[in-house]
Structure 1
Amino acid sequence: MLRRLAALFEPFILMLVGTVVLASLLPARGGWTSVAGVAAQIGIVALFFLHGAKLSRQAIIDGVRHWRLHLTVLGATFVLFPVLGVAMRSLPLVDPMLATGLLFLTLLPSTVQSSIAFTAIARGNIAAAVCSASFSNLLGIAATPALAALMIGPIGQGTAASHGGGGSLAAVEHIILELLVPFVAGHLLRPVIGGFVARQKRLVTIVDRGSILLVVYTAFGAAVVEGLWHRVSGGDLAIVVVLSLILLGFVLAATWMAGRALGFSREDRIVLVFCGSKKSLASGVPMAGVLFPAATVGVILLPVMIFHQLQLIACALIARYYADTAPPDA
């Protein structure tokens, strides 16, 4: 018990909390916004490049072939989550706009970089995590707007009208250029740099965790600049936090039990827990800008922001537990 409590104060958890505080007090403004954004993109590209160089060809093939795991992750992301979101939206104590934000949260795809980073920390199946998270994000480009139109109803005029639907194409381009291309490039260079990367485990860990912190800072800071904290009361904030904790706890338990019931290996159960229980802030921010009027985006994104921080802290603790209890050869 004392060890678990001590894990709350491990450096990475403290850095996550510190990043949120820093983004709230000193968000990137003006020219620094572009600098922070570029730094986050570099971190994500480096993350996928290093993991591409680290993974063997057979591990990638096995990851792609694991269709049962991928379908289970997609089921948790786009079926279980939305059902729970509809239930939460019907609660009478929730502000209507925040309730819409909670439902929107449940329609988002899974995270990519943090899911893979935590899977790596927990010694799970990284290749399968790359495939599951990438499939979720690619499907989410079409599934999230479609589910939002179906389950939220008329959602006003975001930037989609002005871009003529270009937001979806831009998202596809973003995933290909920043995620898949670096991964493929790293893997193609594996014969040259694979040995060096395998010896530099600390470097991979720094990139894994650093990319998470950079994405948190840029996304959270952008919402703070838009006046996020001036639009919501303390009571509303408390309700969103409690509901987010309940939602996260339920899905974490459901994915853990599903992994055991389906007979997945330990490494694959780790993928299901991390990829199936998380929602992407990086995808949620631009999608909200496309789907909702600018005046409502900040409030709509608040549940996404809160859930994102809670899932990072919870998954960091879970990853630490998996790493500590992993078999010696894992």
Structure 2
Amino acid sequence: MIARVKNLFDPLVRLLLLAIALASVAPVTGEGRDVARVISDAAIFFLFLLNGLRLPREQVLKGVRNARFLLPLIVWVFGVMGLAGWGLSQIGASVLPPTVALGLLFLGLLPSTVQSATAYCSIAGGNVAASVVAAGVINILGVFVTAPLLSLAAGSDVGIDLDGLQRIGLILLLPFALGQIFQKQAGHFVAENRTLLSWADRSAIAIAVYVAFSAAVEQGLWTLVSLSAWAWLALLIGAFLLLGFAGSWLAGGALALTRGDRIAFLFAGAQKSIALGAPLASVLFPPATAGLVLLPVLAYHLVQMIISAPVAARLSRGSAHP
């Protein structure tokens, strides 16, 4: 119980709740919208630059070679979870606003988290090296595959046009590539300032959420989503969490993975990344739409943080006594 309460006060969770509350009572409007969008884009650019500086190319190459673990995980994250998101979005289409239902599909196609999946894998006694590499590789893939898969699955609801592709290239791919290029020159700065830069990460995500939710609030977010719709959303998110955690654990067992790899598969397979979800939604969708699309992602993220702590604690006892 204490672990669950602590996770409610995780720094990123606090910032996300603050961003949602601030957008609800003081949304950015009028001429400030354009300024806020520029600030949000700049924060996202910086976030992906840091990601490029952090992830050693050697680890990526090493992870790619562990095909027995990585390939099934990629299929699970983008294939199985993506299909589940599509199925839940079809159910949600009759009980939720269309854009919120689309958010369930978007959630299903997002890659894994990096920091929290790795942290919980470590607590549970899993293969941390495999978790770090897998999450990094899957996040790189997510930049390339989430948008096209979303466009393919959603059909006419989402069209990734030339402008959208340019924004993905300029705001997500370019800074990541620059980070990889200048990794040797600037990587030491990232390693020496982890605490400061982790707050920069969280702040960039919170800014993207604030800008997206501001526009959604201005369009009537809290009146568009009724109490019954919130109840349905909670039910659908609960089903998705059950599939994510129970399904990925069972899949790891079916693949006959070692216990350490199975734990890494669980957290990388069950957790979804708000760190990519918020920036990608800001790039792909108009601000008013992005806020509604992010509702399922934010709900899933908050609950996955609460669930992961007791799951990791329980698994750690099993790891200590095989």
User: 2:269 matched to which residue of 1?
Assistant: 272
Q: Deviations over 1:205-260 (max 9, x none)?
A: 11221122112111111111112223343333333333333333433432343345
1:258 matched to 2:251? The reply is: yes
More off after superposition, 185-194 vs 130-139: 130-139
Give yes or no for contact 1:252–1:273 (8 Å, CA) kept in 2.
Answer: yes
Q: Deviations over 1:272-300 (max 9, x none)?
A: 222489993554566566xxxx9xx86x9
> Structure 1 stretches of 5 or more lacking a match?
161-166
Give yes or no for contact 2:248–2:269 (8 Å, CA) kept in 1.
Answer: yes
1:216 matched to 2:205? The reply is: no
Determine the C-alpha separation between the residues in 2 that align with 1:228 and 1:316: 25
Secondary structure at the aligned position of 2:28 is classed as coil
- Seen in structure 2, the aligned counterparts of structure 1 residues 268 and 188 have a Cα distance that, compared at 3 Å, is farther
Query: Residue 154 of structure 2 aligns to which amino acid in structure 1?
Result: A
1:175-324 matched pairs, under 5 angstroms:
175-262=168-255, 263=257, 264=261, 266-275=263-272, 280=277, 282-284=279-281, 302=292, 304-317=293-306
Provide the TM-score with structure 1 as the length reference: 0.74
Q: CA RMSD in A?
A: 3.7
User: 2:45 matched to which residue of 1?
Assistant: 45
Aligned pair count? 299
Percent identity of equivalent pairs:
25
User: 1:129 matched to which residue of 2?
Assistant: 135
User: 2:35 matched to which residue of 1?
Assistant: 35
Determine the C-alpha separation between the residues in 1 that align with 2:51 and 2:231: 38
> Structure 2 stretches of 5 or more lacking a match?
123-127
Aligned partner of 1:107 among 105, 108, 121: 105
Secondary structure at the aligned position of 1:258 is classed as helix
Query: Residue 76 of structure 1 aligns to which amino acid in structure 2?
Result: V
Query: Residue 138 of structure 1 aligns to which amino acid in structure 2?
Result: F
User: 1:144 matched to which residue of 2?
Assistant: 150
Query: Residue 18 of structure 1 aligns to which amino acid in structure 2?
Result: L
- Seen in structure 2, the aligned counterparts of structure 1 residues 143 and 187 have a Cα distance that, compared at 3 Å, is closer
- Seen in structure 2, the aligned counterparts of structure 1 residues 88 and 28 have a Cα distance that, compared at 3 Å, is closer
Q: Deviations over 1:16-63 (max 9, x none)?
A: 212111111111112322232223222222222223222222112134
Give yes or no for contact 1:54–1:190 (8 Å, CA) kept in 2.
Answer: yes
User: 1:164 matched to which residue of 2?
Assistant: none
Query: Residue 24 of structure 1 aligns to which amino acid in structure 2?
Result: S
1:34-73 matched pairs, under 5 angstroms:
34-65=34-65, 66-73=70-77
Determine the C-alpha separation between the residues in 2 that align with 1:320 and 1:50: 27
Give yes or no for contact 1:47–1:207 (8 Å, CA) kept in 2.
Answer: yes
Give yes or no for contact 1:121–1:319 (8 Å, CA) kept in 2.
Answer: no
Using the TM superposition, give the Cα deviation of residue 140 of structure 1 relative to its aligned residue in structure 2, in angstroms. Answer: 3.5
Query: Residue 244 of structure 1 aligns to which amino acid in structure 2?
Result: I
